[in-house]
Structure 1
């Protein structure tokens, strides 16, 4: 029994070397040298497609994550729409299992209420938020969250929200306060990746020339009819229309809309088409 008790005590003390009182991995700011930022011990879980999650976090990533998590009301800018989320509770680096894979999500929000009010029920009273700096949400994570029907939202860190090199701890705190005020004033821009109409429906609108258009992520999309056959195309930016994906043509407006939302996901994460 003493041997078992000794082993248990050893494991307890060992765990405290790596975890804080809330069970989270200890973070330490590094302000000098070539590896500036926040360093921590790997969790063994998280988004394995990117080593920076759970291993090394930039100051910009950690600072923006903390800034958003400090808000008691978060204004989400989703396409042309705005949803105000009133926070009941918020947690950083929340672990969750989706489709038998373990992830560590930047911010977990338990919702008190939303405006418009229906979104609290649509999202089952919770929201999972990833902050994109050097590590994006990959296709597998988006798919896993869709399977589990969990609302997953990602926001990119704007260039004007980054932290400076060789910053001191006091400078870090000051900069974070500035970014908090930016989020309060302008809200959090981003895109949903759960591909589930239950959580958020992209607002497609008819333009003056009769084409369906929508603002998804950080781009405008337009559905156009082919002049040569019964197919449809997806226009975005200044590139040529996309008439098919993975060798499959878009044979209806609804098919083109659905694929446009997935294309928006890929483009938002700087993935090649």
Structure 2
């Protein structure tokens, strides 16, 4: 499957999640550490067969693509990303790495038994059109799994100084085409797409060392560290506001529900 496209563009442009940034690889690795347990738990609920043909969209640093290649040794796994620099094509012989822009590129209908993407569609303005297309790429009986975050309102926070930072993060992403609350509609959209056996799992993700999801705390702090210079330079935050947030984040009793990861999945009917 050769999908090389010389005109691919980064949806973030000069943006704050570009893989040209030296901190982005470690930020993605911390994302994997915080969210892989949820994703693997969802995969455990599906009847994954060793012969399945899988598509991992927005493969990032590769952890889920590698796990699917391990679980499907007699099948194939296509790890697709607009920028594949972090992916190891030699990891397994049944793993194929391809540069792919899901906004513009296409794949054959009925090609996959499992399609998974995580924290991808929330960043793409064409998310609902793409979701409908993904269902067409499923083979009869195949499964679609989509995971995106629901960012809680900063206005509900007991820590307004931290809420201002997370709100500025969300606003920056949304200025680049994201919708950080679209996952509220995700299960309904999957059901409306014609898939069967639709289900959903919700995973609360906390900031704060008092929480049980310390990996997410590390991930979101890395994101704040990476994005904050842009937020200050654009006037969305002041240095004083950022310093106040960091001071609160350092308190040993601080804990804040920042994001809920919405995992939803469904099966294309066999008939």
Regarding TM over 0.5, the answer is no
TM-score (norm 1): 0.27
Greater fraction of residues in strand: 1
Point out the structure with max Rg over C-alpha. Answer: 1
TM-score (norm 2): 0.27
Greater fraction of residues in helix: 2
